[in-house]
């Protein structure tokens, strides 16, 4: 029972490099989200998807891109990495929208450092 799987677990990038954080879920959830967690702050929503082919911006979308070609996968792309994007990234999925009463299932996170 895998749930939400994120890869890689750790990554170090140089400023200006691009990369894709992978997220896959096997629960057939329609809703998927990406959050970042920074010290002293709560999880902040970057982008979310309400189903295959449909994505929208969250609270902090700048510098990130997403797509949702299948129900299972929701990759997050850093277009040109900046030190301000050093953070821990969490992917989540749920039956209903993130603002609703259905709890989200989170992956174990990707710790990303930008030098």
Partner 1 sequence: DQQVKQNSPSLSVQEGRISILNCDYTNSMFDYFLWYKKYPAEGPTFLISISSIKDKNEDGRFTVFLNKSAKHLSLHIVPSQPGDSAVYFCAAGSYNNNDMRFGAGTRLTVKP
Residues that bind partner 1 (CB under 8 A): 4, 31, 33, 35, 40-45, 48, 50, 56, 58-59, 90, 92, 97-101, 103-109
56: nearest Cα among 99, 88, 15 = 99
DSSP symbols for 49-108: EEETTEEEE-SS-TTEEE--SSSSB--EEESS--GGG-EEEEEEEESS-TTSSSPPEE--
Q: Which is nearer to partner 1, 21 or 92 (CB)?
A: 92
CB of residue 52 vs partner 1: minimum separation in angstroms?
A: 16
CB of residue 90 vs partner 1: minimum separation in angstroms?
A: 6
CB of residue 57 vs partner 1: minimum separation in angstroms?
A: 10
């Amino acid at each position: 029972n895998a749930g939400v799987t994120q890869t890689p677990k750790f990554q170090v990038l140089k400023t200006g490099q691009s990369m894709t954080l992978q997220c896959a879920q096997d629960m057939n959830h329609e809703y998927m989200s990406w959050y970042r967690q920074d010290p002293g702050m709560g999880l902040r929503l970057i982008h979310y998807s309400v189903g295959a082919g449909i994505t929208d911006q969250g609270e902090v979308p700048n510098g990130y891109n997403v797509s949702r070609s299948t129900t299972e996968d929701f990759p997050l792309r850093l277009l040109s990495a900046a030190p301000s994007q050093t953070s821990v990234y969490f992917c989540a999925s749920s039956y209903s929208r993130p603002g609703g009463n259905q709890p989200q299932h989170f992956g174990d996170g990707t710790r990303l450092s930008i030098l």
